[in-house]
Structure formats: C-alpha cells, structure tokens
C-alpha cells in the first residue's frame, strides 16, 4: 500500500469524522474517523525520514497551521478566533516534526547514552507540556503517537512493537482523560495499523513534470482547511 493510498484513506476517514462531529453523530462516522490521525502521524515520520529540506518541510506545515486556524475555529467553535479552545492539527504535526529533529540533534550532541536519554526525556516532556498548555488538537497524545511510529518501527519485530507502543499511548490518553466515555472511542484508532502495516514504502504517484507533483502534494495539504470550511458552510 503506497503513501498515496494511505493519504486517501486518511482523507476519507477524516471527512467522515468531521461530518459526524458537525452532525453530533458518533457512530459510525467518528468511529471510522479515529484512524485518520494515526495515519497522518505515521506519514509525518516517513516525510521526516525522506525530506531533503527539513526547514522547508517545517515551514510548510506551520504556514498551513496558520491558514487552517480560521476554518478550524469556524468549524469547531462557530467563530473566527477562540483563544481559549484547541488549535488545529497542523500545529500538532508541526510540534511533532520539530521534536523529531531536536531528538536526532541531541543524539549528535552527546555520545554517551545516559545524557542522550536524559535530554530526550526532557525534550519529550517539554513538548507534551507545550501541546497541553497551548491546547493543540490531540494534545500530548498526538505528540506521543508520532514518536511511537518514529521509533517503534526500528525494532526487529516492528509490527508487534508498533501495536504495543500505540496501545500504550492510547491507554495513557484514556487514563488521563476527564471524558472517559469519549476517550475509550480512541481505541478504534488501533485499526489504523492495518493499512499502516501494509505500507510498501512507495509514494504511489510520480510525474516527470515537477509542477504536477507539487499540485498533488499541496492538494493534500489544502484538503484539511478546505473540507472543514465546506462542512461549516453546508452544515
């Protein structure tokens, strides 16, 4: 299964999730939607691993975070700006991407394992705290999900490691959540591992024309703010 196929699955799941949110229907829309974020988190780690320009990648994510905030606020809160509420998923992904970079840089800075582990623990704790303080979508759960896919796939028994790691992250989220009935719904996110573990490492699309590749790339970025704005206008 290619990256393109994973993106299409995630887009469809996210669309159903947001329709369910707008209509206040949990089953089956929001259940299906649980698989969207883990797929995007996984694809972020793949993008980080293969990017030729980290700064451009991070800048692109952050710019789309800014662009998406007004559509997100309209969709989620019904107003243009609500500083007291959560901010959109692109901020979560931007934070996660920056954390991956800093963790790799910390390993280059210190050769001894104890210092590497200590600094990594501090960085992860700090970014989880930032995610909670700024109320980014999915909070610390989003950060830890990205880390799970980044590091669990390095184990020899990769599939089991990813399944175990993701389950631990979800149960941590459930235990810390004040809304237990909704938190347990997040268990359905484990079904995202089916398409993720079928991933073949290929992009799934490639054109000799760089402009076509850019259009495909930015279409998926733009899908998020455009579809939530459309749902807001129609529903």
What's the pLDDT at 50? Answer: 95
pLDDT at 83: 60
Res. 159 pLDDT band, cuts 50 70 90: confident
Q: How far apart are CA 89 and CA 145, in angstroms?
A: 13
| Residue 60: partners with Cβ closer than 8 Å, 6 or more residues away | 221
Q: For residue 60, what are the domain limits?
A: 3-234
- In angstroms, the CA 151 to CA 215 distance is 31
Residue 142 has pLDDT above 80, yes or no: yes
pLDDT at 184 exceeding the cut of 90: yes
Gap between the Cα atoms of 106 and 120, Å rounded? 7
Q: Report the C-alpha gap between 30 and 14 in whole angstroms.
A: 9
Q: What is the CA radius of gyration of the chain?
A: 18
Per the structure, how many domains does the chain have? 1
pLDDT bucket at 209, cuts 50 / 70 / 90: confident
pLDDT, tens digit, for every residue of 33-91?
A: 999 999 999 999 999 999 999 999 999 999 999 999 999 999 998 888 766 678 999 99
Of residues 123 and 160, which shows the higher confidence score? 123
- Encode 202-220: b = buried (16+ Cβ within 10 Å), e = exposed: eeeeeeeeeeeeeebeeeb
What pLDDT score does 102 carry? 98
| Separation of first and last alpha carbons in the chain | 33
DSSP assignment letter at 156? S
């Amino acid at each position: 299964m290619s990256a393109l196929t994973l993106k299409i699955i995630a887009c469809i799941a996210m669309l159903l999730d947001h329709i369910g949110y707008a209509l206040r229907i949990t089953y089956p829309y929001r259940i299906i939607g649980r698989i969207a974020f883990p797929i995007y988190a996984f694809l972020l780690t793949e993008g980080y691993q293969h990017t030729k320009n980290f700064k451009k990648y991070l800048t692109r994510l952050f710019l789309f975070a800014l662009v998406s905030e007004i559509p997100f606020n309209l969709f989620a809160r019904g107003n243009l700006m609500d500083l007291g509420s959560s901010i959109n998923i692109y901020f979560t992904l931007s934070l996660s991407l920056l954390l991956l970079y800093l963790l790799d840089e910390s390993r280059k800075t210190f050769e001894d394992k104890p210092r590497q582990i200590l600094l990594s623990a501090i960085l992860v704790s700090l970014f989880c705290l930032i995610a909670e303080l700024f109320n980014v979508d999915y909070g610390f759960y989003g950060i830890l999900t990205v880390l799970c896919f980044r590091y669990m796939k390095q184990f020899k028994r990769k599939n089991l490691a990813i399944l175990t790691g993701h389950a631990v992250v979800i149960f941590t989220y459930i235990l810390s959540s004040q809304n237990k009935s909704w938190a347990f719904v997040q268990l359905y996110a484990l079904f995202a591992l089916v398409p993720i573990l079928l991933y073949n490492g290929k992009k799934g699309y490639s054109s000799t024309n760089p402009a076509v590749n850019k259009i495909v790339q930015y279409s998926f970025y733009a899908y998020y703010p455009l579809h939530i704005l459309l749902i807001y206008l129609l529903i």
